Amino acid sequence: MESYTKLKPFVGISFGMVELNILKSIWSHGIKFVNLKKKGGLGIKDDIIWNKVAVGKLAWWITSKADHLWVKWVNHTYIKNKEWHTYSLPAFSSWYWRKICQVKDTFNEAYQQNLWSETIGNEYSIAKGYEFLRDKGETMNWHNMVWNTWSLPKHGFMAWIYQHKNMNTKDKLYKLGICSDDTCCICGHQTETMDHIFFACDYNKAVIKIVGHGIGVLLPTQNLREWSLRRGGSKIRFELLNAVLNACIYHVWRQRNLSRYELTIDCPRKVASTIVDEMKIRIKGCLMTASPTDKIWL
């Protein structure tokens, strides 16, 4: 399990209390945010692996018999002409030597396979070591939707939580005994699930319809997740449409929270107008790099 200490520098630099609470929730649900974005994480490096990999450079110097005074001293003091691959720690060793030997054991497989040979260009680097040790995991097919060039970071972050199905909707809270009912905060008619909020609720349907009309594109009013994975047209169109959907997810969820905690909610037209204004700014940015065909489409 990832330690909470990994969050501290991340939270301290760019996140406030609201985001801290969201990340606490994510952490408690076991989502691996310390991972590559395409693997479902937030693109944060794992500091424990990183430290091991940094120490691994010292172990690699010994393995490759690098021409360093420190390597000569280590050979003379500790290894004493023994085979480094099979070297085992003496009973009483200093903590730093113990750490180097532990990392050597971790990397032994890579050393044996000669992943980092002595030829130029294949030298050990911290980036290569990190790649060797990091969690390979499966690639999430939605990562292009969430992390695309034209999506605002706050929209992408909320879409990332959405794709992990980690929103605290009332159906979950009701089962945990945190709230007294499970009806939708916006319409008050049906059970509040993620599918209801983003696919079935009339409020969301109205927002998406007005947004689609505002930017001149027919957006889906159901099965958002599947639709977002379809690759129609050019990359810029795919990314821009997903940026619009991310904005819808962000703003509809924001209205849901306003309704739940402040007993107020904006009309769909006002929300859609905010989304369209935000997207028009992004579209202006797109026009600078778009192809002539895409410019006509935009």
Which positions touch Zn ion (CB under 5 A)? 184, 186-187, 201
Shortest spacing between CB 56 and Zn ion, in angstroms: 53
Residue 74 or 201 with smaller CB distance to Zn ion: 201
Q: Which CB sits closer to Zn ion, 60 or 203?
A: 203
Residue 236, φ and ψ in degrees, nearest 5: -65, -35
Task: Report d(CA 218, CA 140) in Å as an integer.
Answer: 26
**Cβ closest to Zn ion, residue 161 vs residue 201:** 201
Residue 293 CB, nearest approach to Zn ion (Å): 39
Min separation Cβ 173 and Zn ion, Å: 15
Q: By C-beta, is 123 or 195 nearer to Zn ion?
A: 195
We find the least distance from the C-beta atom of residue 196 to Zn ion, in angstroms, to be: 6
For Zn ion, the closer of residues 201 and 210 by Cβ is 201
The least distance separating Zn ion from the CB of residue 179, rounded to whole angstroms, comes to 15
66: its two tokens: 């690098």
Which residues lie closer than 8 Å to 89 by C-beta, 6 or more apart? 97, 98, 101
CA distance 119 to 139: 32
Q: Report, in Å, the least distance between residue 186 CB and Zn ion.
A: 5
Instruction: Compare residues 155 and 256 and give the one whose CB is closer to Zn ion.
Output: 256
Least spacing, CB of residue 42 vs Zn ion, in Å: 29
Smallest separation (angstroms) from Zn ion to the CB of 253: 12
Nearest to Zn ion of 108, 190 (CB atom): 190
CB-nearer residue toward Zn ion: 221 or 242: 221
